[in-house]
């Protein structure tokens, strides 16, 4: 676990002032903070790995798609990342359910899959950010 030199110095100073118990409690809190941060990051990286696996099955991934990311930046497209994440999650759940329950879905063309997804959405707010990055 990384602890900055300034923090170590402050703990040493408190230790010299006979506040060892406070130092131990502080270090325990810092350790718990690190543990919870790492657990949170593990959760997100695992979640994004799952999304990536499903989305690569959903989309026809090609190397030239990397140029698309640059074009989004160049077009100055405003993207609400929180909404985009929620929309990807909804898309992920939809694709996963369709793969498990609908054998015909797996044989559909890409535009048919998108059409089916759009039809199942209650409102346009369910896919606005997905459209922005398309």
User: Taking the domains of the chain in order of start, what are their residue ranges?
Assistant: 1-48, 59-134
Structure tokens at 81: 């990342």
Q: At 107, list the tokens.
A: 């044989």
Task: Quote the strand ranges of the chain, DSSP E.
Answer: none
Residues (pLDDT < 50) of the chain are: 60-61, 63, 65-67
Which residues are CB-contacts of 117 (< 8 A; sequence separation ≥ 6)? 91, 94, 95, 127
The pTM of this model reads 0.45
The answer to whether 105 and 113 have CB atoms below 8 angstroms apart is yes
| CA terminus-to-terminus distance, the chain | 41
Q: Can you say how many angstroms the Cα of residue 56 is from the centroid of all Cα atoms in its chain?
A: 15
Which residue, among 35, 30, 32, has the nearest Cα to 11 in the 3D structure?
A: 30
Q: What is the pLDDT of residues 55-93, one digit of tens each?
A: 655 554 454 544 455 555 556 667 777 888 888 888 888
Separation of CA 54 from chain center: 14
């Amino acid at each position: 676990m990384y602890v900055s030199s300034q923090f170590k110095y402050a703990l040493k100073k408190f230790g010299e002032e006979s506040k060892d118990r406070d130092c131990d409690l502080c270090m325990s809190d810092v350790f718990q903070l690190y543990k919870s941060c790492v657990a949170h990051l593990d959760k997100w990286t695992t979640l994004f790995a799952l999304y990536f696996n499903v989305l690569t099955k959903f989309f026809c991934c090609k190397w030239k798609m990397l140029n698309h990311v640059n074009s989004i930046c160049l077009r100055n497209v405003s993207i609400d990342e929180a909404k985009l994440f929620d929309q990807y999650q909804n898309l992920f759940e939809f694709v996963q359910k369709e793969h498990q329950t609908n054998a015909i879905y797996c044989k559909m063309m890409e535009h048919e899959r998108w059409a089916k997804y759009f039809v199942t959405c209650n409102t346009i707010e369910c896919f606005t950010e997905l459209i922005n990055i398309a």
